[in-house]
Structure 1
């Protein structure tokens, strides 16, 4: 199979054309992660990086239409640029949900065609839709007709017995023709029969090269690669071949990684010199949510990995994980935990 007259199997560095601002929008993304990337997590991540594109947890289109909408898709404008990830397969329902999300002020509507859990398989959305590219294309077209926002698709390279070469390229061709504004590809197959969702995150082998070749096939569409990326150095390597990277567990388990995103990948100053500055800036958010009745642990759980590798990190995690659970716990618990990792005293922090 040739791509634009070239052999896609031949090793080569993709020569990317000068990117428009739209392409740069996806240069570094934090993956949507169920039970992790809630609004409290995203508020912390935004303090660590101004430029990272953030994503919500996946929310079913039906839930957006019939559930507690403000609780499910409400967010603080400070989190932007922010995409909402929808799960679903019924075009009219997706279009209506996309309109509702657009009304809330999101910057992007993303369709989940990558989640391998049994729950989404039963609901006819997620990775099983890799077998239904025409239906996905209908959904994309319906959302594009409903909203003026970018509509993107996050998918796998195939599922179960599918041949990735045929599955991915055929799927991508259909959704791009339907108007998809960007493709985000988790560079692994999903085994819906035989592997748990957890195992599907790491057991199927990564195939970055097929995503590189997908970019060659679609030079005018942003292509973002996801899967197995844990360092800024690794993201730089992938950015030689595609337009963007999406980092998942590494960004959550080691959120200080995000401090390097703006200077290393965008050539802009970091938001803060270190994690301590970001934490101080997060305190007003914590106080405001505490006043609304949000438990401290619901917010500080996203900070547990912030000082990984630093002396005292284990004590920081232990104190925060245990003491934030107490009834009435406030920001003093966070300050006590910071003492274990050598936080600057208040006088230094004020300078």
Structure 2
């Protein structure tokens, strides 16, 4: 989720769900150690619980970066063993590490020793010509041997040669059954599933124990970003909380104080509004909502009045839609 799940995105998503664990974009260990830490790691307290996802393959660097992340207040340190981009291939991290389970274990042992918060792994089921049954279990077992218990598995291979990062999200076939087999054969481990899960119905199906296996969690990526309103149902449907769902209008009101604070700090509205573009998906006025945020949000000095206009456009469209529906009902009667 590079360039997507930045601090503004996470604050917005937190306005929709109080319980879901949010993840940062992947940040490389050298960048954390030598770069602008506040820009890379800074986040708002409203985001908790939030995990820092690191990229790298040097155990000492990862341990140092993990310590820094913990000092910033992150609730979990996650190692990315799944990203297939050209950048990670040249740097020998991300999905490349599926070929080196012992190195992954060394990295995780170093991270675990360095921090007191949970240390977790997000991986693929394999890369290129690997047998997923072999590569997935080898990666998980090597890290489990050094005390790692929590794994998030993207249930498809990554093809490092011949496919783009975008194609790697769609082309290799999903193998959910293999992830369930991993949980069945390693019941003491926490196994979460990721990849191609498009809505909460599918998420609930993955958490069902109809075949005697109950996965421990579901990670949503693109679905949650492109249609964030579904996150408003997560606390009730996934976590079983006795709460009302958060509708898009309520989410914007919750996000509003954060936006105001960031605007006061000099941030531009577009950097926050861009994460909201899919919020009204499927509703009357959704196109006008996106247009106003996109066109007016980039203008110099744009403030919360732009968000208010976008919201009002949806309310007016829904009111017109409702009146037309009532007129049609009366005519039919």
TM-score (norm 1): 0.87
After TM superposition, the structure 1 = structure 2 runs for residues 136-151 of structure 1, keeping only pairs within 5 Å, are 136-151=104-119
The separation in 1 between residues aligned to 2:299 and 2:138, in whole angstroms, is: 53
1:126 counterpart = 2:99: no
1:275 deviation in Å? 1.1
Question: What residue in structure 2 maps to residue 330 of structure 1?
Answer: 303
State the alpha-carbon separation in 1 of the partners of residues 191 and 316 from structure 2: 40
Q: Which has the higher contact order (CA 8 A, sep 6+)?
A: 1
CA distance in 2, matches of 1:343, 1:75: 35
2-structure distance, mates of 1:274, 1:258: 9
1:282 equivalent in alignment to 2:255? yes
Q: Is the 8 A contact 1:65 1:97 kept in 2?
A: yes
Deviations along 1:324-345, one digit per CA (max 9) or x if unpaired, are: 000010000111111121179x
Aligned residues: 312
Q: Contact (CA 8 Å) 1:276, 1:343: kept in 2 or not? A: no
Matches within 5 A, 1:223-234: 223-234=191-202
Instruction: Report the counterpart of residue 190 of structure 1 in structure 2.
Output: 158
Could you tell me which residue of structure 1 aligns to residue 29 of structure 2?
A: 61
Are residue 200 (structure 1) and residue 168 (structure 2) matched?
Answer: yes
Q: Residue 270 of structure 1: CA displacement?
A: 4.3
Note the C-alpha offset of 1:269: 4.0
- Structure 2 counterpart of 1:310: 283
Distance 1:253 1:178 in 2: 37
1:259, 1:273 → 2: CA distance?
4
Q: Secondary structure at the match of 1:210?
A: helix
Deviation sequence 1:208-232 (CA, Å, 0-9, x none): 0000010012211110000011111
Give 1:4-43 correspondences, 5 Å limit.
Answer: 33-43=1-11
Is this contact kept in 2: 1:259–1:270, CA < 8 A? no
Counterpart CA distance in 1 for 2:98 and 2:267 is: 38
1:71-150 equivalence runs, <5 A: 71-150=39-118
2 CA distance for matches of 1:272 and 1:168? 37
* Matched-pair contact (CA < 8 Å) for 2:84–2:168: yes
RMSD in angstroms over aligned alpha carbons? 1.2
Structure 1, residues 166-193: CA drift from partner, whole Å, max 9, x if none?
1111111101112223010000000000
Is the 1:50–1:271 Cα contact (8 Å) retained in structure 2? no
Deviation at 1:41, TM superposition (A): 0.5
List 4+ stretches of structure 1 deviating above 3 A: 269-273
Q: Quick check: 2:207–2:218 contact (8 Å CA) kept in 1? A: yes
Structure-1 separation of matches of 2:138 and 2:16: 38
User: Are 2:233 and 2:245, in contact at CA under 8 Å, matched by a contact in 1?
Assistant: no
Secondary structure at the aligned position of 2:258 is classed as helix
Matched, 1:291 2:264: yes
Contact 2:52 2:77 in 1 (8 A): yes
Of 233-242 and 264-273, deviating more is 264-273
Mapped partners of 1:138, 1:343: distance in 2: 58
Distance (whole Å) between structure 2 residues aligned to residue 183 and residue 281 of structure 1: 32
Secondary structure of the corresponding residue to residue 315 of structure 2: coil
Alignment CA distance shift 1:78-1:308 (3 Å): same
1:267 corresponding residue in structure 2: 240
- In the aligned structure 1, how far is the partner of 2:85 from the partner of 2:182? 26
DSSP 3-state at the match of 1:58 = strand
